[in-house]
Amino acid sequence: MAIQTDTLSKQEVTLSKDEIARYSRHLIMPEVGMDGQLKLKKAKVLMIGTGGLGAPLGLYLAAAGVGRLGLVDFDVVDNSNLQRQVTFTTADVGKPKSEATRERLHGLNPMIDIEAFETRLTSENALDLFRDFDIIVDGTDNFPTRYLVNDACVLLGKPNVYGSIFRFEGQATVFGYPGGPCYRCLYPEPPPPGLVPSCAEGGVLGVLPGIVGSIQAMETIKLILGSGDPLVGRLLLFDALAMRFRELKLHKNPACPICGPNRTITKLIDYEEFCGIRGEEAPAVTNGIPEITPTELKTRLDRGDDLFILDVREPHEYQICHLNGKLIPLGELPRRVSELDSSKEMVVHCRSGKRSADAIQFLQKAGFKKLWNLKGGTLAWSDQVDPSMPKY
């Protein structure tokens, strides 16, 4: 049942006196003991993502004495990460996440090897990165990377300890275990681009990644020890608001294109294309939508032009910051369009310019002609006009 830790298994691995003292609460449990702690020391775990899920994962795996930890992340620490990514301190803002995590984990446990890979996981580097590790832990937040991690794990025969979070809900399971299902057995096709919002768009309650990431850490340690019932063939669903766990049975799909007997995927593919995403994010549709920059808008407002400002965000966003516009959330626009005067020149805005572009497309169809989309929304207004405007 235990995961093979082949490269080191032939060498004699022992624990030093300091290690025995450090891991004594493991060592006195017969279920772990010296044998289990040596398995942990020999284990090599690769974490994909060092954000919200990666924080408890890294801390607990390092603390438990997992001998080699790899950290893959290309991102840098942002102020908005600190609400949940508890490995980082305020002083880490601007630092690469993989390196900041490495420093933090090294401080926690200098007796283990920690390697930071400051790179984006791609179809080109995934197999090489994964090859040296026994277990891969998926703490990413986007569909292309999830399919990539899954496929690389299945191709290499490595377990993939999966977790995901959104707003108040989390999921965890172990994919790619011998005989068990993979991510594609559960989700053969990615959702249409834009249908499932990211945490950056939909938000996430700060504690949630702590809980789901801790479950992933526990499953990883169980796989290393070969003890207990691993979360294989079971999708654990967590609802933080109801404080309820549910479990769905997952079956291996005989028609799975990568882990089934007649597989059609035999190498890594272009996952951005597979998920219908080009580049970093799906770009906002701006075709045929007239734009005004925050600087231009400021100039026109200052000279007293008669501009009507329509804010299509939600009321809780208006509370954070606003441009004194009329608030009609995008979803309410169709039934409240009569509140607007089509003879007036109108600037529509949201946070980033995406929802306001949708609003303008709707208003154009409704016969409005004098429309401007505030390019970059309140975020750009803060950057270009008024730095005191909060960014969220």
The distance of closest approach from Cβ of residue 184 to Zn ion in the complex, given in angstroms and rounded to an integer, is 4
> What is the total count of residues that contact Zn ion (CB under 5 A)?
5
User: Is 350 assigned a catalytic role?
Assistant: yes
Out of 199, 256, 259, 321, the active site residue is 199
Q: Does 349 bind Zn ion (CB under 5 A)?
A: no
Cβ atoms of 204 and 84 closer than 8 Å: yes
| Catalytic-labelled residue, pool 182, 256, 275, 350 | 350
CB of 162 to Zn ion, least distance (A): 12
Q: DSSP 3-state assignment of 375?
A: coil
Shortest Cβ 176–Zn ion spacing (Å)? 8
Q: Which is nearer to Zn ion, 57 or 275 (CB)?
A: 275
Would you say 37 or 150 has its CB closer to Zn ion? 150
Closer of 95 and 263 to Zn ion (Cβ): 263
3-class SS of residue 221: helix
Q: Is 309 in the site for Zn ion (CB under 5 A)?
A: no
Query: Which among 65, 12, 63, 57 has a CA at the least distance from the CA of 37?
Result: 65
For residue 198, how many C-alpha atoms fall within 13 Å in the half-sphere facing its CB? 11
Secondary structure, 3-state, 160-212: EEEEEEEECEEEEEEECCCCCCCHHHHCCCCCCCCCCCCHHHHCECCCHHHHH
Classified as helix, coil or strand, 269 is coil
* DSSP β-ladder status, 169-175 and 160-166: antiparallel
Size of the chain in residues: 392
Q: Does residue 149 bind Zn ion (CB under 5 A)?
A: no
Q: Are 67 and 42 in contact (CB under 8 A)?
A: yes
Q: Does 153 bind Zn ion (CB under 5 A)?
A: no
Spatial separation of the C-alpha atoms in residues 146 and 183, rounded to whole Å? 8
Of residues 253-272, which lie at the interface with Zn ion (CB under 5 A)?
Answer: 256, 259
- Report the residue number, 156 or 327, with the smaller CB distance to Zn ion: 156
- Output the residue with the shortest Cβ distance to Zn ion: 256
CB of 254 to Zn ion, least distance (A): 9
SS3 72: strand
- The nearer residue to Zn ion, 64 or 182, going by C-beta atoms, is 182
The answer to the question of residue 158 lying near Zn ion (CB under 5 A) is: no
* Catalytic (active site) residue 153: no
Cβ neighbours for 121, distance < 8 A, ≥ 6 positions apart: 48, 72, 129, 140, 145, 148, 149
161 touches Zn ion (CB under 5 A): no
Helices (H) and strands (E) in the chain, counts: 17, 13
Instruction: Show the binding pattern over residues 168-197: x = contacts Zn ion (CB under 5 A), - = does not.
Output: --------------x-xx------------
Name the minimum Å distance from CB 233 to Zn ion.
Answer: 12
Report the nearest approach of Zn ion to the CB of residue 178 (Å).
13
Q: Which is nearer to Zn ion, 259 or 297 (CB)?
A: 259
When asked if residue 223 is in the footprint of Zn ion (CB under 5 A), the reply is: no
- Bridge partners of 310? 326, 348
Q: Which residues bind Zn ion (CB under 5 A)?
A: 182, 184-185, 256, 259
Active site residues: 199, 350
